[in-house]
Structures are given as C-alpha cells and as structure tokens.
Amino acid sequence: MLCALGSAVCFGTASVLQAVAARATGPGTGSGVDPALMLRVLRQWRYLAGLGLDGLGFVLQIIALRSIPIYAVGAALASSLAVTAVVAARLMHTRLTRTEWAAVGMVCAGLAMLGLSSGPEGDRPGTPALEWALLAAAVAVLVLGAAAGRLPDRPRALVLGLASGTGFGVVEVAVRLVDGWSALTSPALYALLLGGAAGFLLLTSALQRGSVTTATAGLVLGETIGPSVVGVVCLGDEPREGLTWLAVLGFAVAVSGALALARFGEPPEPEPEGEPEAAGAG
C-alpha cells in the first residue's frame, strides 16, 4: 500500500505539470490519436518533468500490483487527484474550499479503510482468453480515441479521459499476467505496452482541449472500476475475511472523494484584461 500511495503522489504531481504543458502546446490535427502532439509536448520542460515522475510512479505501481489487490491499487491511484489538489493549491495559488478539503479527507479515510481490509493479491492464474481480451481492449482504446478526437470539446474530453483510463486499466491487469521470459510471447505484454502508450497519448490530448476536469473524472472511472472488477472476478482478489463491507465502502468513499477533486487537473486561467470604463454621459 505504501508503494501505491507513493505512486499516487508521483502521478498527482505530474498531472499538474502535464496539464500546463499540454495547454501551452499547439492543437495540431485535433485528433484524439495524434502522435505528433506527443513530440510537441516533449519540448516542454514541465511535461518532461511530469514524465519522470510518471516513470517513478509506474515502477511503484508495478510493485504494488504484485503485492495487493487491484481494487486497492486502483483506489490509491484515484487518490492522486487529492495530491493534485494540494500541489495545485501550493504551486498555482488555487484555494481549496471547505468542501474540497472534506473531499481530501474522504480520500484519506477511504484509503485507510482499504488498507485495513485488503488481503493479499489473488492467486488465481489469468487465462489466455483474458490476455487476448486485454489486447483487444487496448486496440479498442486507440480506435475510440481516434473517433473521440472529432467530437465537440465537452464530450471529447469525457470520452478521451475515459478511454485513457481504460488504457491505464489494461496496464493494471496486464502487470499481474506478465511473468518471466514467457512474457515475450504473451498477449498481455503487448496489451500492457499498447494500453500504456494509448493512455498517455489520449490523456495528453484530453488535457489540451476541453475541460480537464471532465477528462480527469473519466480517467478515474476508467482506471478504477473495470480493473477492480476483473481482479475480483478473474484473478481472485479478495479482502480480509469478514471485511468485504469495509473494502467496498473504502473503495466507494475514496473514488467519490477523488471525483469531487477532479477540477484540480485544470491549469489556471489567464487573468482577463480590464474592460475600459464606459464614458460618462455629458
């Protein structure tokens, strides 16, 4: 759980840096799948710093996924929005309301419940059908992203965020299925690589145009709910005996608090220029 929380700190801080960098980059083709966009944002030092934090967060995420259930890791990753809120308040001089501080408290309380209730990761092996399903899902994420890139800004941000979260969710499940040198012939390995790349590309596009708040909410939903269900149903993830209710409650509280903080993926808006005063009647 400590690795999962460390991963959330890295991802939450990175999202602030990447949102600012993406907004400072030209829109390009406007497609959700625009590889040239990645090349343009890589010229922004903030985006590079964010990528460094994402890399460290990914390593910590892998360690966590090898030790505790996917639903616990997913909720911890959703808590990165609480980190984003605190970092944005510090670096961007945004102000958290009492309601938003309460949402941060909800995230912390939910994670505490999950920490108390989570058992070890499930020991049920993944089937070949699950591995191929993950690869198909990763391909579908790219197709969905290409189509979503042509939507109006608000639905575009939601669909791209949801698709991005699904790509990262594929990574969460695939990490559990990749094992040793046999991984080179496993569809799960290629699902992990494709899902991760698609997630980054679509999230960058979602952060650049439309509502980052909407995109981030879609991201949280995509990377928590689906993978958690797969972990429980297909891989045998379970809470400690008699504490299923606490795990379910903790997951719901943590994700709900994270969604309430989604707006802190937004970079600050430029200050509007003062309007000239109307001339008095003479």
pLDDT at residue number 277: 46
**Average pLDDT of every residue of the chain:** 77
Distance, in Å, from the CA atom of 234 to the CA atom of 34, rounded to the nearest integer, reads 34
pLDDT at residue number 106: 83
Joined tokens for residue 92 = 């961007």
pLDDT at residue number 90: 72
pLDDT at residue number 278: 45
Q: Which one is predicted more confidently, 268 or 98?
A: 98
pLDDT at residue number 194: 92
Average pLDDT, integer, range 217-242: 82
CA proximity to 254, closest of 102, 97, 116, 78: 78
Domain ranges of the chain: 2-265
Joined tokens for residue 210 = 């439309």
Cβ pair 44, 25 in contact under 8 A:
yes
Chain segment 88-124, per-residue pLDDT in tens: 777 666 677 788 788 878 888 887 887 777 777 777 7
Considering 19-23, 123-127, 263-267, the range whose residues carry the highest mean pLDDT is 123-127
Average pLDDT, integer, range 253-263: 77
- H helices of the chain, where? 2-23, 35-41, 45-65, 70-78, 80-91, 98-117, 128-148, 153-177, 187-208, 212-234, 244-260
Q: Which one is predicted more confidently, 158 or 55?
A: 55
